[in-house]
């Protein structure tokens, strides 16, 4: 394991993502790549009564075909803030800690953030503070393709992805089952959004993250 990890920006990122924030002394979040759809950049996965539910932030289509991620704006299309908050409330209202944390998250679905990277970063900072994590995070200033990434940097930009199987791409992430509201109906659902862990386990979230990452001493 190197001392630095390179990650994509992510909306309410999955548990796997937060094990990297915990494991590495330095974290770089990519903002200079071209925007790609159907990634965790603007999508998270939560546990709803009927199974895994994706929540996607709509973005404004850039004027040019290729647009840097740092310039991607959040769209107001479809009243998504109201829909996402209702979905989170419906999914986690009966979890042990949703009511405890609700007032911390609600403002993110009332205030308008112009840029996706800023919104994601602000949410990440909140979640880290609630979990009692203090990762050393910075944003990239230039884009380097995967094949040219420095040898002393572990690149997970495209490995932590909703269409990639973590069991094949990340041997240092081992999901540990924890209580979930619908586990008797659905069974344990691994690697959902970090809020699934937080709302269900509260202060014990940090312990679960440590158990999920053999790299953490």
pLDDT digits (tens, 9 = 90+) for 146-190: 877 778 899 999 999 999 999 999 999 999 999 999 999 999 999
Q: For 71-129, what is each residue's pLDDT tens digit?
A: 999 999 889 999 999 999 999 999 999 999 999 999 999 999 999 999 999 999 999 99
Phi-psi category of 138—alpha, beta or left, where left has phi over 0 and alpha has psi -120 to 50? Answer: beta
pLDDT band (50, 70, 90) for residue 217 = low
How far apart (Å, rounded) are the C-alpha atoms in residues 165 and 21? Answer: 19
The pTM of this model reads 0.95
Torsion angles phi and psi, residue 107, rounded to 5: -60, -25
């Amino acid at each position: 394991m190197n001392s630095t990890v390179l990650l994509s920006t992510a909306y309410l990122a999955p548990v796997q993502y937060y094990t990297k924030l915990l494991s590495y002394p330095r974290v770089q979040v990519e903002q200079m790549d071209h925007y790609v759809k159907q990634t965790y950049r603007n999508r998270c996965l939560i546990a709803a009564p009927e199974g895994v539910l994706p929540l996607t932030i709509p973005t404004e289509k850039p004027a040019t075909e290729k647009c840097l991620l740092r310039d991607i704006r959040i769209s107001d299309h479809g009243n998504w803030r109201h829909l996402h908050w209702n979905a989170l409330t419906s999914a986690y209202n009966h979890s042990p800690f949703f009511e405890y944390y609700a007032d911390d998250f609600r403002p993110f679905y009332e205030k308008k953030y112009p840029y996706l990277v800023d919104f994601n970063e602000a949410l990440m900072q909140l979640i880290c503070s609630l979990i009692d994590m203090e990762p050393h995070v910075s944003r990239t200033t230039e884009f380097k393709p995967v094949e040219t990434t420095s040898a002393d940097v572990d690149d997970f930009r495209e490995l932590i992805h909703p269409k990639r199987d973590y069991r094949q791409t990340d041997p240092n992430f081992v999901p540990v089952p924890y209580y979930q509201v619908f586990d008797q109906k659905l069974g344990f659902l691994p690697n959902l959004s970090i809020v699934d862990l937080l709302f269900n386990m509260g202060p014990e979230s940090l312990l679960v993250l440590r158990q999920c990452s053999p790299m953490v001493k």
